[in-house]
Amino acid sequence: MCGKQLRVTLAVAVALQCGRCHAMDEVPLWSVWETEIVGDLEHDRLPEGAVTIRLISPSGEKHRVEGFWDGGRGWRARFAPGETGLWRWRSRCASDSGLDGCAGEFMCVEAAESGLISHGPLWVAADRRHLEHADGTPFPWLGDTAWNGALRADEADWAEYLDLRREQGFTVVQFVITQWRGWPEAGVYSDAGGVLDVNVEAFRRLDRMMQAVNDHGLVAAPVMLWTLTATDPGQTLSEENAIRLCRYMVARWGAHNVAWLLGGDGRYEPTVERWQRIGRAVFADRHDRPVTMHPCGSSWVGEWFGDEPWFDFLGYQSGHGLPELTSRWIAQGPPAQHWRDLEMPIINLEPNYENHPAYSSDYRISGHDVRRAAWLSLLATPTAGVTYGTNSIWLWSNEIEDAPGHPNLKAIAPWREALDTEGIRGMSAIRAILAQVEWWRLRPAQELLAEQPGEADPRESIAVSASDDRDLLVAYLPSGGDVTLSASELPQRAAWHDPRTGESRRTGATAHTFTAPDERDWVLVLAD
Helix (H, G, I), strand (E, B) or coil at 274: helix
DSSP assignment, residue 92?
Answer: E
pLDDT at 49 over 90: no
At residue 23, the pLDDT reads: 54
**DSSP characters for 314-364?**
EEEB--S--HHHHHHHHHTSHHHHHGGG--S-EEES--PPBTPBPTTS-PB
Domain ranges within the chain, ordered by starting residue = 6-109, 146-425, 445-527
At residue 225, the pLDDT reads: 98
Side chain identity at residue 282, one-letter code: V
At residue 25, the pLDDT reads: 83
Give the closest residue to 8 by CA, choosing from 29, 31, 25. 25
Q: 514: pLDDT confidence band, cut at 50, 70 and 90?
A: very high
Q: CA-based angle 206:71:246, to the nearest 5?
A: 50
Contacts of 84 (CB under 8 A, 6+ apart): 29, 58, 108, 109, 110
CATH topology of domain 6-109: Immunoglobulin-like (2.60.40)
Arithmetic mean of pLDDT, 457-461: 97
Arithmetic mean of pLDDT, 507-518: 86
Rounded to whole angstroms, how far apart are CA atoms 328 and 356? 19
Rounded to whole angstroms, how far apart are CA atoms 65 and 82? 14
Q: 104: pLDDT confidence band, cut at 50, 70 and 90?
A: very high
Strands (E), 146-304: 172-176, 189-190, 197-198, 219-226, 260-266, 291-295
pLDDT at 498 over 80: yes
CATH topology of domain 146-425: TIM Barrel (3.20.20)
Mean pLDDT lowest among 112-121, 157-166, 335-344: 112-121
Same fold for the domain at 6-109 and the one at 445-527?
Answer: yes
Rounded to whole angstroms, how far apart are CA atoms 487 and 511? 11
- Cβ atoms of 478 and 493 within 8 Å: the answer is no
Arithmetic mean of pLDDT, 387-410: 94
pLDDT at 3 over 80: no
Mean pLDDT lowest among 160-164, 213-217, 396-400, 507-511: 507-511
At residue 2, the pLDDT reads: 34
Cα within 13 Å of Cα(235), Cβ side: 14
At residue 489, the pLDDT reads: 82
At residue 22, the pLDDT reads: 44
pLDDT at 20 over 80: no
Rounded to whole angstroms, how far apart are CA atoms 327 and 270? 27
At residue 283, the pLDDT reads: 98
Arithmetic mean of pLDDT, 85-92: 98
Arithmetic mean of pLDDT, 102-113: 93
Beta bridge partners of 131: 124, 139
Arithmetic mean of pLDDT, 51-64: 98
In terms of pLDDT, which residue wins out, 7 or 128? 128
Give the closest residue to 421 by CA, choosing from 368, 358, 348. 368
pLDDT per residue over 259-283, tens digit each? 999 999 999 999 999 999 999 999 9
Whether domain 445-527 has CATH 2.30.40: the reply is no
pLDDT at 243 over 90: yes
pLDDT at 69 over 90: yes
Give the closest residue to 103 by CA, choosing from 45, 54, 46. 54
Contacts of 142 (CB under 8 A, 6+ apart): 169, 170, 171, 172, 385, 386, 387, 388, 427, 430, 431
Mean pLDDT of the chain, nearest integer = 93
Helix (H, G, I), strand (E, B) or coil at 151: helix
At residue 114, the pLDDT reads: 78
Helix (H, G, I), strand (E, B) or coil at 509: coil
